[in-house]
């Protein structure tokens, strides 16, 4: 890895800060970066930022040769809060599982996975692997039920009054804030959906209302729900008595031997910062309001658990534009796997790498994806020419690979826009697609579609799932005799010039020259003449005529691509030859 030029992007600056802090906290130990996700339902594409921000920082640290681990905490021991709408194989009967750990809720009908949590983790883990994101995944169910946190739980119970006192400071503040009109009332639905997957949903501090405060909540050993109330606890014997509001069960257990419950979220998170020695963990805006888990956690980790809060920038919301026909099996929100069906992993990485965490951005599922790809290809050319700005070049380098090496890419990167047009016109026929792609550049013909994959497959998937029906191209089966018969002499002459030039210009560049050149020649200008306003008008009206004759619409795919796709003989016929 070339380290001769210092990086100046946000990732590099955060890595500097994290390495310095890790050296202060635990010299010589691997640097710990962390993400947390709750598999409470489909994991929204926006939640990928929870993983991407620490990934990029951890990856930069590894590139510098410093040992670093990226923990991905699955908050799968959280309670099942509600049945998400629009998930295939799930109906209202799943509400009987509300209050159980996510790992104890059955997977949607037809799923190959053993639980709700596993069902929703699997596509995210597959997406992370495809994107080259290495994590050490931790199941909080496994941690809690195997007693890993036993000492921490007993400690938190002993310290419950001090914990309660810290929480109380913020409860008062939260109440005061709630009494004022909120400035942040408007949270759009997608944002809420995103917050669902982030763990913030369970902003539970264990507050018991009138009863004594306990930071620990058992899951009922009979019905598995967490609708339990701790009624007594003895610090010396660790005997804990609870009753279950859901099924009426009550019992006394020995907490020193009992592994069927968890610390409430606001205590759980700072406990784990201390336990795992996390130095870097960003979180979403939903965690950062007054009295929220991040703010309270910072007090608890230092005052109670003797640790330090991680460096944790707040990251802004990631939106989606488009999303036509988004599968209802995904609950109406796209997940990372949906994005990877229509774009290559390096491009998706780039969208996260090029924006600072506090900048919100949108991921295009609509026609804007073509512009995104154009920008990406333009950046690749600049980087190859050594002309990219340092921060842009850094983002590019972070997108195409990791410390472990480059990600697989497409050998022959034809413009996504053009591939989408070709697939649209050929309705995905491989033979026709290869014929067209082989004619684009006769000096360097595409000989095998594999040269253009996986980008070709992503564009094909975009056409099949996202391209609006009204934007689809249908080449006319027969010439438009009526329109051809109504043409003026000038138009007929232009079409003749175009038809006669086809054979000599049959490549993408050649046809580009030809379609722009015909109106120039008709205007008596040289083929390389600078366009005048009059010429531009003539070109526009000529192009509109070609579209009408070829596809019966005023606009369509770029003309050179369209002509190649339609084929010379058929073009001649449709243009009255
Ligand atoms: Zn119960």
Write out pLDDT tens, residues 106-157: 999 999 999 999 999 999 999 999 999 999 999 999 999 999 999 999 999 9
Write out pLDDT tens, residues 243-274: 999 999 999 999 999 999 999 999 999 999 99
Mean pLDDT within 392-412: 97
Contacts of residue 555, defined as CB under 8 A and 6 or more positions apart, other chains included, come to 544, 547
pLDDT at 196: 45
> For the chain, what is the mean pLDDT?
91
Contacts of residue 416, defined as CB under 8 A and 6 or more positions apart, other chains included, come to 369, 370, 373, 374, 377, 455, 458, 459
Q: How far is the CA of 524 from the centre of ligand 1 (A)?
A: 89
Write out pLDDT tens, residues 48-107: 999 999 999 999 999 999 999 999 999 999 999 999 988 999 999 999 999 999 999 999
pLDDT at 531: 85
User: Domains in the chain, please, with CATH?
Assistant: 1-197+269-407 (3.40.50.620), 416-471 (no CATH), 481-574 (1.10.10.350)
Q: How far is the CA of 157 from the centre of ligand 1 (A)?
A: 22
Q: How far is the CA of 108 from the centre of ligand 1 (A)?
A: 23
pLDDT at 283: 94
Q: How far is the CA of 97 from the centre of ligand 1 (A)?
A: 11
Structure tokens at 344: 């290559």
Q: How far is the CA of 75 from the centre of ligand 1 (A)?
A: 22
- pTM for the full model? 0.90
* Separation between Cα atoms, residue 59 and residue 154, nearest integer Å: 36
Q: How far is the CA of 99 from the centre of ligand 1 (A)?
A: 10
Q: How far is the CA of 247 from the centre of ligand 1 (A)?
A: 4
Q: How far is the CA of 90 from the centre of ligand 1 (A)?
A: 23
Q: How far is the CA of 219 from the centre of ligand 1 (A)?
A: 8
239-246 contacts: CB < 8 A, separation 24 or more?
A: 240/157, 240/216, 242/218, 244/220, 246/99, 246/220
Total Cβ atoms within 10 A of residue 129? 12
What beta strand segments (E) does 387-435 contain?
401-402, 405-406
Q: What percent of the chain has pLDDT over 90?
A: 83
């Amino acid at each position: 890895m070339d380290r001769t030029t210092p990086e100046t992007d946000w990732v590099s600056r955060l890595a500097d800060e994290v390495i310095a802090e890790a050296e202060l906290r635990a010299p010589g130990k691997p640097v710990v970066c962390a993400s947390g996700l709750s598999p409470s339902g489909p994991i929204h594409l926006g939640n990928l930022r929870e993983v991407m921000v620490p990934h990029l920082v951890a990856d930069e640290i590894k590139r510098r040769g410093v040992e670093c681990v990226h923990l991905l905490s699955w908050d799968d021991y959280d309670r099942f809060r509600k049945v998400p709408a629009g998930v295939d194989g799930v109906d209202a009967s799943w509400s009987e599982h509300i209050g159980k750990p996510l790992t104890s809720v059955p997977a949607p009908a037809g799923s190959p996975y053993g639980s709700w949590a596993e069902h929703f983790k699997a596509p995210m883990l597959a997406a992370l692997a495809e994107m080259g994101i290495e994590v050490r995944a931790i199941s909080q169910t496994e941690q809690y039920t195997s007693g890993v946190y036993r000492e921490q739980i007993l400690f938190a119970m002993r310290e419950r009054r001090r914990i309660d006192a810290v929480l109380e400071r913020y409860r008062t503040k939260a109440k005061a804030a709630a009494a004022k009109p909120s400035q942040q009332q408007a949270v759009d639905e997608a944002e809420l959906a995103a917050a669902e997957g982030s763990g913030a949903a369970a902003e539970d501090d264990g507050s018991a209302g009138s009863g004594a405060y306990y930071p620990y909540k058992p899951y009922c050993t009979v019905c598995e729900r967490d609708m339990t109330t701790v009624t007594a606890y003895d610090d010396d014997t660790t005997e804990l008595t609870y009753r279950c509001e859901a099924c009426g069960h009550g019992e006394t257990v020995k907490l020193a031997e009992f592994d069927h419950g968890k610390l409430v979220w606001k205590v759980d998170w700072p406990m784990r910062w201390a336990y795992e020695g996390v130095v870097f963990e960003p979180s979403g805006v939903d965690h950062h309001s007054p009295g929220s888990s991040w703010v309270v956690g910072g007090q608890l980790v230092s005052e109670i658990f003797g640790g330090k809060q991680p460096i944790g920038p707040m990251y802004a919301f990631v939106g989606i534009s488009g999303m036509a026909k988004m599968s209802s099996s995904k609950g109406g929100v796209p997940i990372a796997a949906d994005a990877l069906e229509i774009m290559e992993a390096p491009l998706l990485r780039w969208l996260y790498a090029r924006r600072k965490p506090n900048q919100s951005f949108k991921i295009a599922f609509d026609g804007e994806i073509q512009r995104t790809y154009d920008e990406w290809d333009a950046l690749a050319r600049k980087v190859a020419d050594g002309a990219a700005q340092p921060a842009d070049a850094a983002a590019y380098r972070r997108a195409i690979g990791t410390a472990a090496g480059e990600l697989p890419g497409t050998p022959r990167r034809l413009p996504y826009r053009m591939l989408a047009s070709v697939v649209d016109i050929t309705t995905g026929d491989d033979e026709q697609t290869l014929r067209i792609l082989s004619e684009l550049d006769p000096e360097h013909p595409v000989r095998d579609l594999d040269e253009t994959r996986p980008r070709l497959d992503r564009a094909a998937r975009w056409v099949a799932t996202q391209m609006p029906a009204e934007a689809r191209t249908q080449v006319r089966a027969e010439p438009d005799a009526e329109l051809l018969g109504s043409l003026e002499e000038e138009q007929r002459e232009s079409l003749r010039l175009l038809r006669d030039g086809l054979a000599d210009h049959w490549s993408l560049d050649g046809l580009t020259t030809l379609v722009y050149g015909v109106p120039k020649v008709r205007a008596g200008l040289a083929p390389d003449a600078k366009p005048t306003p009059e010429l531009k008008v003539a070109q526009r009206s000529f192009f509109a005529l070609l579209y009408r004759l070829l596809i019966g619409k005023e606009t369509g795919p770029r003309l050179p691509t369209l002509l190649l796709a339609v084929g010379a003989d058929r073009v001649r016929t449709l243009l009255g030859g």
